[in-house]
Chain A
Amino acid sequence: MTSQYVDRLSRTDRDMILTLVPEGARVLDLGCGDCSLLNQLVREKRIRGTGLDIDGMQLVNGLASGLNVYQGDLDDGLSDFPDQSYDYVILNQTLQVVKHPMLALEEVLRIGRYGILGFPNFAQWQLRRGLFFGGRAPKSPALPFEWYDTPNIRVLSIQDFFDYCRREKIAIVHQRYLMGGRWVKRLFWKRAVNLLAHIGLFVITRSDSGASTAPWRMPHSFESTVNAP
């Protein structure tokens, strides 16, 4: 029951990421698993992509559709990848499982012009209620794990992420929040997202990188401005 819900969640954030990536972009997916998101991006957005995962045998699916794959561990850093060599670097549902999230975020924005980041919000109200009234480590459809078997070793909220971006001069150029079963772009009362959203999905860039941080418009076509060094 719960796992079905999680599957649906991961499908829905995949659909949302598909709408965020422009046609023909160069995309690196960190923690790509079996490359299914990239495969879909290749089919629907004709991207050129690279899949990275710690499990090499999972990457075989990506090879067969002409993707480049790279077996590696995010926690070791990604020094083999040159600066600004991709248009988009995706880190979806991965930030909360890495040992060094700061390193991961730095690498995302070093390698990519934009980062696409998705993570579960640990401050969603059901989780707060569970902790407050139940007195137990919180669970929700987006976070269905017991404390002893959760892959999530980092606990962050959407507000934490806002604070981090401000401090690190990271611009959020686009955001989507999953509430209930629906994606929303913004709420009238901005701070309420931290209470209501199960999942936050953000497109980020370095404020000083020169990449556009203007109010986001969905590009219909995309001309890659990242050249191979």
Chain B
Amino acid sequence: MERQSVGQVTPEVFVFGSREEPLELESGYTLGPVEIAYETYGRPNEDRSNAILICHALSGDHHAAGVHSPHDRYTGWWDGMIGPGKAFDTERYWVICSNIIGGCRGSTGPVSINPESGAPYGLDFPVVTIGDMVAAQKRLIDHLGITRLYGIAGGSMGGFQVLEWSLRYPEMVRSAICIASAARLSTQAIAFNAVGRSAITRDPEWQGGKYNGRGPEKGLAIARMVGHITYLSELLLDEKFGRRLQSANRLSYNFSTEFAIESYLDHQGSAFTKRFDANSYLYITKAMDYFDIARTYGPLKDAFADVRARYLFVSYSTDWLFPTDQSREIVRALLSRGKDVSFIDIESPHGHDAFLLEEEKLTRIVSGFLTGVNEEVSP
């Protein structure tokens, strides 16, 4: 079938957790009311058993496919994967994507108004975890009348949410697709997050998180630059930029942006500040740092003892932020428990970013897997 776009979509907002009945967080704090921005693509079947939840990564949002207006230059972040005839085929599946809490794209987060003070939360926003994000998504899924998800999928931090879902609500997850992810954030990745947060909190414009308007744009841009380096492979940097100079043939002997890679990072950094909130960046990277299945659920072998989903793990050969071995570690735990699990390591030069770029291969793998979920061979 020919691949098409889902076309024009309209985000929706679901509100739950009044101040009397707020969302209880892992930290012990509460949050409420909670708004969740989400989009859906395709249609539910009669018993709503064809729903697939897509979980976004650090800088993503609920706008995963299609456009908001016919004049939009950009489509949703996973448009190549979601739509009629695509991997998440909206002719067959009802696809849902929601913005995480703590985010800055419509769901409740540090930029939202604190009902106590009438001003943005800023640092009064409680620290949220991946578990809290999933608990909030669960309320949305309940609200949509879904008792069991056909599938749940995500890459990177989206993969954290996929794993958390399958552990927290095993009876609600029929299949789980975890791409370029891990059972915990590695020390190295925490280190890079720490540099990013330092860049933000040491920017004088941050003002202890109480900034108005544009805020610590320089700090946020540096955080994004560091992040971007970790998303790419050495090989790709070499191929794409090499030691090329951006606009001159001769060395300038000063400190202007000179190398092509410098200019690329500058651009990525400043573009990011136009669409992302610095405090949100602090909160979300913190949630990633805290993610550690073994800490919450015990050794992996035991943590996955009672899961019920069929799992698919995809990793990428040059991803050094979430290396292949971190996926394999979970696969091994699932195999030791006799669970249904598949594992494919895609050969790719694109590093961690491959999960957004290698769409051809991922499409074949994901659509095959989703078809197979229905073919379940009885045990």
Which A positions have Cβ atoms within 8 angstroms of B?
42, 46-49, 56-57, 59-72, 79-82, 85, 227-229
Contact between chains at A56 and B331 (CB < 8 Å):
no
What A residues does B372 contact at CB under 8 A? 62-67
Contact between chains at A80 and B342 (CB < 8 Å):
no
Q: Look across to chain B and name the residue whose beta carbon is closest to the beta carbon of A79.
A: B332
Q: A63-B312, A66-B376, A80-B332 are in contact. List 5 more A-B contacts (CB 8 A).
A: A63-B372, A68-B340, A68-B341, A70-B331, A71-B345
Which B positions have Cβ atoms within 8 angstroms of A?
310, 312, 328, 331-332, 335-347, 361, 364-365, 367-369, 371-379
Q: Given A63-B369, A65-B372, are A42 and B345 neighbors across the interface (CB < 8 Å)?
A: no
What B residues does A46 contact at CB under 8 A? 377-378
What B residues does A67 contact at CB under 8 A? 342, 372, 377
What B residues does A228 contact at CB under 8 A? 337-339
* A66 to B310 Cα, complex, angstroms: 10
**B227, chain A: closest CB distance, angstroms:** 28
Contact between chains at A57 and B343 (CB < 8 Å):
no
What B residues does A79 contact at CB under 8 A? 332
What B residues does A227 contact at CB under 8 A? 338
Contact between chains at A61 and B336 (CB < 8 Å):
no
Q: Given A48-B379, A65-B372, A65-B375, are A60 and B365 neighbors across the interface (CB < 8 Å)?
A: yes
Contact between chains at A61 and B361 (CB < 8 Å):
no
* A68 to B345 Cα, complex, angstroms: 14
* A120 to B341 Cα, complex, angstroms: 33
Q: Look across to chain A and name the residue whose beta carbon is closest to the beta carbon of B333.
A: A80
What B residues does A56 contact at CB under 8 A? 344-347, 365
Contact between chains at A70 and B343 (CB < 8 Å):
yes
Contact between chains at B365 and A66 (CB < 8 Å):
no
What B residues does A65 contact at CB under 8 A? 372, 375
Contact between chains at B373 and A66 (CB < 8 Å):
yes
What A residues does B377 contact at CB under 8 A? 42, 46-49, 66-67
Contact between chains at A63 and B365 (CB < 8 Å):
yes
* A30 to B230 Cα, complex, angstroms: 35
* A155 to B312 Cα, complex, angstroms: 37
Contact between chains at B345 and A85 (CB < 8 Å):
no
What A residues does B336 contact at CB under 8 A? 82, 229
Contact between chains at B343 and A71 (CB < 8 Å):
yes
* A69 to B331 Cα, complex, angstroms: 11
Contact between chains at A64 and B371 (CB < 8 Å):
yes
Counting chain A CB atoms within 10 Å of each CB, which of B344, B367, B369, B379 scores highest?
Answer: B344
Contact between chains at A66 and B342 (CB < 8 Å):
no
* A85 to B340 Cα, complex, angstroms: 12
What A residues does B374 contact at CB under 8 A? 66
* A64 to B310 Cα, complex, angstroms: 13
**What would be 21 A-B contacts, judged by CB atoms less than 8 Å apart?**
A56-B346, A56-B347, A56-B365, A57-B361, A57-B364, A60-B364, A62-B372, A63-B369, A63-B371, A64-B369, A64-B375, A66-B374, A66-B375, A67-B372, A67-B377, A70-B331, A70-B341, A70-B342, A70-B343, A80-B328, A229-B336
